[in-house]
């Protein structure tokens, strides 16, 4: 019981940190291209991760862990950051955050496929209900979005769910921060080259807010958040703790309103409140 509780609290800490990711990305792409932003955040986080691995003298992963680490890198280091950055060129961060409500279902499905978990049937009821609420809102809302942007967000959710589930399984053997650190290290060469090929034409005129946002997604979204998140998934279960992501739109909407001064439609608030109830139900039957 104590182990599961520690997992839920650790997972919640990760969700709170991740809640700032999409609003920060929305600010950053005003001055940086999606490709540069994706590669820069990965390179910065990878350099910090290398420092941790070397300083704490971590043993290298086994050969049979490399493929799983590459899947993690493809999902959460490259896929999700790049696809969301591209999507946010066509929608507000508030609109994009509603799609995060689909992430728990994606994570739970891959937790079953890749992690061997078997939640009770009632869990799927609450999980599907939460996803349906989010999908219904996305379909009915015609503002601040586009079909292309919505499809990019859905693809990002699928890749992220796979990366979360794969990383959670590895965390039980390697540790949470070690998983994201090794995944970042494996992606470093490709991300460094991508970053150099997509450097801004000029560094003049880049706003302090864009630099701050780059720092946030590099340090917190790409590294620190995963330390809490993977630990939470490993201790509390992929499917169960993954439902905490249903809270991320609620936190993110508040940040979008407070920091970006984006308008929050009443339907968004109702949607966020409904998915909180789905989290409570899913937690009980996970």
The CB density around residue 30, as the number of other CB atoms within 10 Å, is: 13
b (16+ CB within 10 A) / e for 145-156: beeebbebbbbb
Task: State percent of the chain over pLDDT 70.
Answer: 91
Cα(77)–Cα(81) distance, rounded to whole angstroms? 7
DSSP calls for 10-65: HHHHHHHHHTTHHHHHHHHTTTS-HHHHHHHHHHHHHHHHHHHHHHTTPPPPPGGG
Distance in angstroms (rounded) separating the CA atoms of residues 99 and 110: 17
Which of 110-114, 149-153, 189-193 has the least mean pLDDT? Answer: 110-114
pLDDT of residue 240: 74
C-alpha to C-alpha distance for 279 and 61, rounded to whole angstroms: 34
Residue among 241, 105, 223 at smallest CA distance from 172:
241
- Dump pLDDT digits (tens) for 220-256: 999 999 888 888 888 887 777 877 877 777 777 777 7
DSSP calls for 77-133 = IIIHHHHHHHHTTSS-HHHHHHHGGGHHHHHHHHHHHHH-----HHHHHHHHHHHHH
Return the higher-pLDDT residue of 3 and 215. Answer: 215
**Which tops the pLDDT comparison, 2 or 19?**
19
- Mean pLDDT over 159-187 rounds to 89
pLDDT of residue 279: 67
Residue 145: the pLDDT is 58
Cα 256 to Cα 178: distance, rounded to the nearest angstrom: 31
Is the predicted pLDDT of residue 185 greater than 80, yes or no?
A: yes
Q: Are 251 and 15 contacting, i.e. CB atoms less than 8 angstroms apart?
A: yes
Number of CB atoms found within 10 A of residue 207's CB: 12
């Amino acid at each position: 019981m104590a182990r599961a509780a520690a997992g839920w609290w650790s997972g919640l800490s990760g969700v709170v940190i991740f809640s700032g990711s999409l609003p920060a990305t929305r600010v950053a792409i005003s001055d940086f291209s999606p490709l540069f932003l994706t590669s820069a955040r990965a390179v910065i986080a990878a350099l910090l991760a290398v420092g941790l691995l070397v300083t704490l003298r971590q043993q290298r992963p086994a050969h049979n862990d490399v493929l799983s680490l590459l899947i993690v890198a493809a999902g959460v280091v490259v896929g999700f950051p790049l696809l969301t950055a591209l999507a946010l060129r066509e929608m507000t961060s508030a609109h994009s955050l509603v799609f995060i409500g689909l992430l728990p279902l994606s994570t739970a499905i891959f937790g079953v496929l890749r992690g061997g978990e078997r939640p009770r049937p009632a869990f799927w009821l609450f999980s599907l209900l939460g996803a349906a609420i989010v999908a219904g809102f996305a379909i009915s809302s015609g503002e601040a979005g586009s079909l292309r942007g919505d499809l990019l967000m859905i693809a990002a959710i699928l890749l992220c769910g796979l990366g979360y589930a794969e990383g959670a399984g590895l965390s039980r053997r390697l540790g949470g921060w070690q998983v994201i650190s090794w995944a970042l290290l494996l992606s470093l060469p490709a991300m460094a080259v991508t970053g150099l090929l997509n450097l801004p034409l000029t560094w003049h005129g880049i706003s302090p807010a864009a630099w701050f946002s780059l720092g946030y997604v590099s340090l917190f979204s790409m590294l620190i958040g995963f330390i809490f998140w993977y630990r939470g998934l490993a201790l509390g279960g992929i499917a169960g703790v993954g439902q905490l992501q249903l809270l991320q739109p609620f936190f993110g909407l508040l940040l979008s309103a407070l920091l970006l001064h984006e308008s929050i439609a009443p339907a968004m608030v109702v949607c966020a409140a409904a998915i909180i109830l789905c989290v409570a139900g899913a937690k009980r039957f996970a």
